[in-house]
Amino acid sequence: MGCEVSSRPDILCIGAMLWDVIGRAPQCMTQGADVPGRIRHLPGGVALNVAIAIARWGMAPAVLSAVGRDPEGEALIAEAERMGVLTAWLTRETGLPTDCYMAIEDSQGLIAAIADVHGLEKAGDAILAPLAADLAGWSGPVVLDGNLTETLLASIIRGPALMNADLRIVPASPGKADRLRPLIAAGRGCFYLNRIEAEIIAGRKGPDAASAAEAVIALGAARVVVTDGPCPAADAAQGEETLIETPPSVTIARVTGAGDCFLAAHLAAELRKMPRKAALRQAVQAAAAHVSGKDPS
């Protein structure tokens, strides 16, 4: 485990907690480009990114994840705690180094990325042990990160530990969107997808975020929120009107973490009982602020 249990969290974020290594060039890059730029090491992983963003909205998030007992892991936990994230329920005995994510960005956005989450995958359902102990009977919000294996995601959705929880599910990347297909039919939770991820799950392309969201709803999902970069985002739900909201135009300073920032702002709005339209507006504005280099709050 991490620190001593000192308080009960408002929200659980289950999934990846790792170091982001982000290289950014100020110009447009092509395949094979070797250019000057900046490289930063930042706390990352979908679960941790969302938790950090949620903490900025004045709430107390906890991460359920796997972090190695190496210097990188100790530094990551210390930094997460400094940023307002509760780490008392982490799994540490993975036998592997702390996980890592590496991305290359240019002036237009993401070029390529690789996620090494072998520690999380090896830990498996050990990260859920607190749900049978300190956090038993959890009925609050839970963010599920698509870095979890298909088997673990399915067991969470169908198992009793989080049966009464408010599930918010995000695939982590287009390459892992397929993992969510079996979860759609369960009809639980709200899925946060970008347009590419929604199209992968739906098995067909659409002209915009609204059509992509509605295509996933048609597969049985209860609710789907889809982003599309600078184009309008959409919130679709069974039996309700599909809403859209256009993000403000900003100059790109970074892209990694924008979707996690969007989710955190949207969840914060809904926990404050804001209407769907207002929650969607707050989310697109927060994501745009993140992309421009600001930390929304």
Looking at residue 232, its amino acid is: P
Residue 251 forms part of a structural domain: yes
217-249 confidence digits (pLDDT tens) = 999 999 999 999 999 999 999 999 999 999 999
Residue 177 forms part of a structural domain: yes
Residue 221 forms part of a structural domain: yes
Residue 48 forms part of a structural domain: no
Residue 150 forms part of a structural domain: no
Kindly report the pTM of this predicted structure.
0.89
Looking at residue 208, its amino acid is: D
> What are the helix (H) ranges across the chain?
46-56, 71-82, 118-123, 150-158, 181-184, 195-202, 209-217, 258-271, 276-291
Residue 99 forms part of a structural domain: no
CATH code of the domain covering residue 287: 3.40.1190.20
Over the chain (297 residues), the average pLDDT of each successive run of 10 is 63 96 90 90 93 94 97 98 97 91 89 92 94 93 90 87 93 80 85 94 93 96 96 97 96 82 94 96 95 76
Residue 125 forms part of a structural domain: no
Domain count, the chain: 1
Range of the domain at 195: 171-296
Here the tokens at position 291 are: 């992309």
Residue 231 forms part of a structural domain: yes
180 neighbors 216 (Cβ within 8 angstroms)? no
152-175 confidence digits (pLDDT tens) = 988 888 889 999 999 999 987 777
